[in-house]
């Protein structure tokens, strides 16, 4: 898979070889230690280990874990739906013929290429770009039985952002608390080395080869022309070499107003992240020209903390603030009469999600 490099208007480098920041270099278990300590401190302060699950009452566990992507779409009003990529759902409870699938896609206004992904997903696991019916049938056949697959409009824009939103339930308006620009893993050709050699030499892109949950669809032996930029994956997660940049400087009143209107067009949605695609940063800043791919709730990561230029303390500050907000909003919703789910129920949701992720087809 390849795509020409599109220069975004902030002039940011899109190279995948940016140096990893301190958080990326740390083992995950070590990152979890201070976050767990803060979580327990907040739980003690607010008298609930699972309080963030009350933040978005219309979503399973408030979107902390175990919710489906379709839950967010199902509650959207006309304004929010008009800003969201077209989609439909397919069950793997039984096999569908090519003709039946074509009818489902046609009714949703979809055509190939499209994105196939799990309804219950995480970090891009199981997300694939499919170019035709044979690929779609193969994906569905490899998917766990009796589960739901989301088929969604493929968005070719190079610009991708995660927009973190929070609203005090007692307030009529919310705010954007963070914005991350996400860049796909890519390498730049020199006219001599193969893609395999370029990937092996790149600290970020080399993660592709180490990810057993990702399937590369490019020709390893192809020699890209000098200066040719080759996009290596459909997903932009750091687990496959994606690059995150803190884009908070691009938060504007216009963008805040647009995102707030969308969030308030969803039932009792107070806290989470909108993942969007866009063509031009100028349009995104103006609150126009973006399309929502998916929405995440209380479990959304403060992914701007993984910007290579973000220091360790600043990175933890961003993540700590995210957890603090989740508890504060959950507390406000509990006072309004909404109760968080129990710890055992949350653990069961998490176990089921992890089991499914391990069984999904690889992303590409």
CA distance 161 to 299: 17
- pLDDT, position 20: 54
In a domain, 153, yes or no: yes
In a domain, 118, yes or no: yes
CA distance 342 to 334: 13
Give CA separation, 165 vs 5, 68, 69, 273, in Å: 29, 19, 17, 6
- pLDDT, position 238: 86
3-state helix, strand, coil in the chain (%, to 5): 40, 20, 45
- pLDDT, position 315: 92
Burial class (CB in 10 A: 0-12, 13-18, 19+), 323: middle
CA distance 250 to 36: 31
Q: Which domain holds residue 61?
A: 22-183+243-359
Phi-psi region of 56 (alpha: psi -120 to 50; beta: other; left: phi over 0): beta
- pLDDT, position 6: 39
CB 201 within 8 A of CB 224: no
Q: Strand (E) positions, the chain? A: 87-91, 114-118, 128-130, 148-153, 159-166, 175-183, 186-188, 229-231, 243-246, 271-278, 290-296
In a domain, 164, yes or no: yes
In a domain, 109, yes or no: yes
CA distance 147 to 129: 19
Burial class (CB in 10 A: 0-12, 13-18, 19+), 69: buried
Q: 128-130 and 229-231 as β-strands: parallel, antiparallel, unpaired? A: unpaired
CA distance 26 to 313: 13
- Domain CATH number, residue 276: 3.30.470
First to last CA, the chain: 9
Q: Is 225 helix (H, G, I), strand (E, B) or coil?
A: coil
Beta partners for residue 153, in sequence order: 114
- pLDDT, position 203: 87
In a domain, 255, yes or no: yes
Q: Give, for all 364 residues of the chain, the pLDDT tens digit.
A: 333 333 343 434 444 345 556 677 788 888 899 999 999 999 999 999 999 999 999 999 999 999 999 999 998 999 999 999 999 999 999 999 999 999 999 999 999 999 999 999 998 999 999 999 999 999 999 999 999 999 999 999 989 999 999 999 999 999 999 999 999 999 999 999 999 999 999 988 888 877 778 888 888 899 999 999 999 999 888 888 899 999 999 999 999 999 999 999 999 999 999 999 999 999 999 999 999 999 999 999 889 999 999 989 999 999 999 999 999 999 999 999 999 999 999 999 999 999 999 999 999 9
In a domain, 175, yes or no: yes
The total of structural domains in the chain comes to 1
Listed residue (73, 114, 117, 72) closest to 92, CA to CA: 117
- pLDDT, position 254: 98
CA distance 234 to 226: 23
In a domain, 342, yes or no: yes
Q: Is 59 helix (H, G, I), strand (E, B) or coil?
A: coil
CA torsion sign for 99, 100, 104, 107 is positive
In a domain, 231, yes or no: no
């Amino acid at each position: 898979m390849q795509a020409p490099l599109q220069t975004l208007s902030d002039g940011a480098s899109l190279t995948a070889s940016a140096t990893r920041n301190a958080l990326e270099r740390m083992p995950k278990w070590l990152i979890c230690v201070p976050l767990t300590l803060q979580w327990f401190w907040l739980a003690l302060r607010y008298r609930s280990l699972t309080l963030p699950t009350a933040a978005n009452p219309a979503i399973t566990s408030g979107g902390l874990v175990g919710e489906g992507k379709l839950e967010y779409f199902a509650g959207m009003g006309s304004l929010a739906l008009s800003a969201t990529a077209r989609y439909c759902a397919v069950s793997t409870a039984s096999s569908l013929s090519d003709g039946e699938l074509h009818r489902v896609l046609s009714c949703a206004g979809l055509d190939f290429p499209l994105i196939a992904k799990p309804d219950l997903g995480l970090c891009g696991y199981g997300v694939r770009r499919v170019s035709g019916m044979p690929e779609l049938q193969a994906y569905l056949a490899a998917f766990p039985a009796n589960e739901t697959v989301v088929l969604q409009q493929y968005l070719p824009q190079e610009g991708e952002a995660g927009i973190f939103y929070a609203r005090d339930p007692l307030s009529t308006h919310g705010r954007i608390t963070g914005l991350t620009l996400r860049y796909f893993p890519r390498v730049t050709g020199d006219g001599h080395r193969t893609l395999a050699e370029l990937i092996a030499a790149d600290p970020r892109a080399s993660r592709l080869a180490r990810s057993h949950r990702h399937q590369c669809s490019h020709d390893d032996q192809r020699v890209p022309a000098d200066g040719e930029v080759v996009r290596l994956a459909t997903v932009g997660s750091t687990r496959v070499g994606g690059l995150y940049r803190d884009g908070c400087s691009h938060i504007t009143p216009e963008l805040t107003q647009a995102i707030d209107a969308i969030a308030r067009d969803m039932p009792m949605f107070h806290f989470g992240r909108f993942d969007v695609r866009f063509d031009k940063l100028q349009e995104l800043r103006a609150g126009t020209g973006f399309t929502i791919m998916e929405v995440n709730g209380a479990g959304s990561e403060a992914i701007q903390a993984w910007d290579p230029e973000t220091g360790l303390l600043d990175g933890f500050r961003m993540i700590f603030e995210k957890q603090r907000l989740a508890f504060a909003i959950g507390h406000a919703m509990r006072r309004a009469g909404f109760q968080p789910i129990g710890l055992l129920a949350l653990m069961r949701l998490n176990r089921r999600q992890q089991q499914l992720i391990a069984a999904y087809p690889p992303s590409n």
